């Protein structure tokens, strides 16, 4: 009889110990799950902002695919006439696509006929690129102001886009960088920025802004839409 009582007592102790252990495991798992829900979105996750309408996604996918950010087609950039035909819309309409992204974008400005990055340009591009927040694609759209020939400004805007692209690639050394970042260079032919963009975050925000100074630039932004 005593043996039965002892065995029963041992069984109860073992059962209680196992119950406490399981409860502890479940509590820890619940806490980890809660922490996962409350933690910020990681850079590998794809964001999807409220402005990402079906129409916007369609145009963005067309541009990003043809200009090489989504690796289904072509190289890593689009020149002016390619960008215009790919977008299949007017310059103002093309620019309007990006106006909802004002908080995620910046305008990197250059000297006349120059593609050199100054200190303020580097600081702004680095800050914008570092603030990924789960976005999938980084877009560089370079322009040139009206001075000079069409051919000269095509080459100049390409050099500006390439300068930013190469700076980021060298600075961050991400093996997937070519699948994340891509370029369009628009010269002075397509989608010139209007003066309203002077209110955007600019690398030379302390200087006067007009259409000429504004378009000696490259627009940069993370694309938060899932495509």
pLDDT in tens, 145-195: 988 999 999 999 999 999 999 999 999 888 888 778 888 899 998 899 999
Other beta carbons less than 10 A from residue 177's beta carbon? 15
Which pLDDT value is given to residue 90? 84
Whole-prediction pTM: 0.73
Tell me which of 108 and 68 has the higher pLDDT: 108
What's the whole-number average pLDDT of the chain? 77
DSSP summary character for residue 40: P
Is the pLDDT assigned to residue 225 strictly greater than 90?
A: no
Which pLDDT value is given to residue 133? 87
Q: Is domain 54-223 given the CATH code 3.30.1330.60 in the classification?
A: yes
Other beta carbons less than 10 A from residue 132's beta carbon? 19
Which pLDDT value is given to residue 70? 58
Which are the contacts of 102, defined by CB distance < 8 A and separation ≥ 6?
A: 200, 201
Interval 8-25: pLDDT, tens: 444 444 444 444 443 443
Tokens (6 digits) for 63: 């541009």
Which pLDDT value is given to residue 177? 83
Q: Which residues pair with 109 in a beta bridge?
A: 217
Give the integer Cα–Cα distance in Å for 154 and 133: 32
Lowest mean pLDDT among 53-67, 99-113, 143-157, 172-186: 53-67
Give the integer Cα–Cα distance in Å for 50 and 153: 36
Tell me which of 34 and 197 has the higher pLDDT: 197
- Angle at CA 215, nearest 5°, toward 213 and 218? 115
Is the pLDDT assigned to residue 101 strictly greater than 50?
A: yes
Tokens (6 digits) for 4: 């039965």
Is the pLDDT assigned to residue 99 strictly greater than 80?
A: yes
126, HSE (Cβ side, Cα atoms, 13 Å): 11
Give the integer Cα–Cα distance in Å for 159 and 140: 12
């Amino acid at each position: 009889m005593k043996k039965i009582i002892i065995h029963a007592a041992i069984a109860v102790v073992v059962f209680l110990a196992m119950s406490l252990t399981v409860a502890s495991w479940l509590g820890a798992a619940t806490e980890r799950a809660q922490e996962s829900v409350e933690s910020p979105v990681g850079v590998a996750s794809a964001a999807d902002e409220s402005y990402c309408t079906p129409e916007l996604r369609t145009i963005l996918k067309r541009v990003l695919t043809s200009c090489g950010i989504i690796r289904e087609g072509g190289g890593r950039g689009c020149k002016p006439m390619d960008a215009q035909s790919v977008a299949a819309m007017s310059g103002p309409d093309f620019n309007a696509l990006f106006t909802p992204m004002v908080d995620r974008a910046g305008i990197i400005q250059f000297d006349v006929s120059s593609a050199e990055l100054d200190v303020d340009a580097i600081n702004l591009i680095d800050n914008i690129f570092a603030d990924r927040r789960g976005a999938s694609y980084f877009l560089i759209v370079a322009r040139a102001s009206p001075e000079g020939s069409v051919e000269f400004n095509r080459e100049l805007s390409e050099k500006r886009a390439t300068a930013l692209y190469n700076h980021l690639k060298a600075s961050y050394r991400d093996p997937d960088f070519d699948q994340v970042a891509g370029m369009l260079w628009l010269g002075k032919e397509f989608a010139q920025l209007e003066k309203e963009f002077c209110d955007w975050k600019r690398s030379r925000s302390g200087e006067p802004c007009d259409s000429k100074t504004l378009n000696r630039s490259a627009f940069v932004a993370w694309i938060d839409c899932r495509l």
